[in-house]
Amino acid sequence: MKDLTDFLYANINGFLATLEDGQPRVRPYQFMLEDAGRLCFSTNNKKEVCKQLKHNPAMEFACSDPHGAWLLRLRGNVQFTNEVDVKVKILAKSDVVRNIYKTSDHPDFEVFYLDHGSAQLLPRAGQDSQQPPAKQVA
């Protein structure tokens, strides 16, 4: 899992896909941190992305390195958590999140992590014809 988290920490910006009324919805998103083997993200419970994930926990997150040589794809279901220590770690790590919520007990601050999913780190097309197998996450 270390290779996946190293890649995520180096390339935190990506795209998160959810489902809404059976249709895909994709938006720019940031990976927050790894905690106890869980790949964690944050959101606001007033946002559609939060409502979509609570209605249907299926998601996919994809990010690439700055040169587009490698793509990381995370796929699976999410689980929401209200663990204060995880929220505190996210607040300490992300200026954006800290500026929005200020404290871990903000009522709109939500954290979710990939649960029962898979991850694949793939080379850009044409670099290597063999795709590595997906690694199970959680």
DSSP 132: P
- Judge whether 129 lies within some domain: no
User: Total structural domains in the chain?
Assistant: 1
pLDDT band at 128 (very low <50, low <70, confident <90, very high): low
Q: Which domain holds residue 25?
A: 2-124
Q: What is the CATH number of the domain that holds 26?
A: 2.30.110.10
- pLDDT tens across 27-55, in order? 999 999 999 999 999 999 999 999 999 99
Evaluate whether residue 30 is within a structural domain. Answer: yes
Core vs surface per residue 11-43: b (16+ CB within 10 A) or e: beebebbbeeeeeeeeeebbbbbbbeebbbbbb
Residue 85 domain-assigned? yes
Is residue 138 situated within a structural domain? Answer: no
User: What does the pLDDT look like over 18-27, one tens digit per residue?
Assistant: 999 999 999 9
Phi and psi of 118, rounded to 5°?
Answer: -140, 160
- Is residue 82 a part of any domain in this protein? yes
68 lies in a domain?
Answer: yes
99 forms bridges with which residues in the sheet? none
Mean pLDDT of 101-115: 98
Mean pLDDT of all residues in 73-90: 98
